[in-house]
Amino acid sequence: MLRRGRSRAALCALSAFIGLLGVCAPRTSAAAEDELEFTWRAPAGCPGREQVLARIRGLVGANVATSSRVEVVAEVEKKGGYALVITTNRGEDSETKTASSTSCTTIGEAAAIIVAAALVRARAAATVEDTPEPEPRPAEDAVVSTEPSSRTEPMATTRPERIVRPLPAPTPANHLGFSLGAGAILDAGTLPKPTLGAELVVAGTLGLWQAGLTGSIWAQGEQRYATETSARLVYDVVDAGLFGCFSPIGKRIVVGACTEVDATVMKIEARGIRYPGSARILWPTLRVGIMAELAVTRSLVVFGRADAAFAFAVPRVVLTTTSDNVGLHDVSVPSLRMALGVRANVL
């Protein structure tokens, strides 16, 4: 970005220096009349081509006409401020320079200085003197420097712009995180009727993998076994287990597969009979299914799961009456379990 303080002073000093070189450099009538082909493209509000040519004449002290000894193409674009790209061709030599400023007038001045320097070098190269005038070095740094300078730097070949790239974000493969979650569950098959419940989840994530602990408690279920009385069975179920998921599909919405091993505890209580009683049974359950997660924010994730649950070695409970043994509900294999909840990333 061009600075208006010291950089403008540097431009003035450089203009005087190039003007002096233009006066001292040898000229021929052909050089005075036939040495510049100048193309100027700039948006409205910028100096026109004739204004820039007039400034060049003022610097080199000669008439400037159209020819091909020095070919110049200068383009100015408005990108917040003004950006100049100027290319000079002298025979087989080609050179491109850039400058930027908030003022298009300053851009026009910079273009005139660059062209004047090219003309002076062309004239110096054409002389037959044994000791040619030293080439004026364009004060490129004074034009395009982004740092203020207390002295006028000699013009040099434009330095390539340094491209600053942000550091790459951590890839999923090396990011370890922990989260806490809670959700609602629906189970069909474990109890006589579809049952709602709630679950808690503590999970760790590493890249595409997720593993953790889960625990759930279900709403109380009920089964009547004597329609003419209030005799009934009441079921209370809790379970806890370990799960693991792999989600290779998607970014903001990810889809994957999960497996879980649970220990399921069921309490069965007989009510409405002369001698109420209860029993507890325990069995392992394997659940496999699919999961999907939606990242609402960086810290909040909505998740859903649908699993097929396979209960193993479930003890069978039988209610003994005076007349017969009544078999109670048998757990379905497989049963269906669905969950919907939210998970908050804590690390």
Q: Tell me the per-residue pLDDT of 42-67, one tens digit each, with 9 for 90 and over.
A: 998 899 999 998 888 888 875 554 44
How many whole angstroms separate alpha carbon 56 and alpha carbon 54?
Answer: 5
pLDDT confidence bin for 170, thresholds 50/70/90: very low
Tell whether the model's pLDDT for residue 181 goes beyond 90. Answer: yes
13's tokens: 């000093």
Please give the C-alpha separations between residue 110 and each of 44, 63, 88, 139, 177, in angstroms, as whole numbers. 18, 19, 14, 10, 54
- H/E stretch holding 257 reads strand 253-271
State residue 320's pLDDT score. 65
How many whole angstroms separate alpha carbon 145 and alpha carbon 99?
Answer: 9
177's tokens: 């995180």
- H/E stretch holding 327 reads strand 325-327
State residue 207's pLDDT score. 87
pLDDT confidence bin for 120, thresholds 50/70/90: confident
Full DSSP string of 137-152: PP-HHHHH-SS--SSP
Work out the percent of the chain whose per-residue pLDDT is above 70.
69
Task: Give alpha helix (H) positions in the chain.
Answer: 6-24, 29-33, 49-60, 104-126, 140-144
Q: Tell me the per-residue pLDDT of 265-324, one tens digit each, with 9 for 90 and over.
A: 999 888 877 777 788 999 999 999 999 999 999 889 999 999 999 999 888 777 666 566
Tell whether the model's pLDDT for residue 339 goes beyond 90. Answer: yes
How many whole angstroms separate alpha carbon 203 and alpha carbon 213?
Answer: 6
The lowest-confidence range among 48-52, 104-108, 121-125 is 121-125
How many whole angstroms separate alpha carbon 155 and alpha carbon 159?
Answer: 11
Predicted TM-score of the model (pTM): 0.47
How many whole angstroms separate alpha carbon 152 and alpha carbon 143?
Answer: 10
Tell whether the model's pLDDT for residue 31 goes beyond 50. Answer: no
Q: Tell me the per-residue pLDDT of 211-232, one tens digit each, with 9 for 90 and over.
A: 999 999 999 988 877 666 777 8
Strand partners, 291: 256, 305
311's tokens: 């209960």
How many whole angstroms separate alpha carbon 98 and alpha carbon 78?
Answer: 13
Averaged pLDDT, 150-163: 50
Averaged pLDDT, 342-347: 89
Closest CA to 91 of 132, 112, 121: 121
Classify 164 as helix, strand or coil: coil
State residue 182's pLDDT score. 96
State residue 8's pLDDT score. 52
* Of residues 59 and 19, more confidently modeled: 59
How many whole angstroms separate alpha carbon 218 and alpha carbon 306?
Answer: 17
How many whole angstroms separate alpha carbon 233 and alpha carbon 111?
Answer: 95
Tracing tokens 């982004």 back to the chain, one arrives at 146
Q: Which domains does the chain have, with CATH numbers?
A: 6-144 (no CATH), 176-345 (2.40.160.20)
Contact 64, 44 (CB under 8 A): no
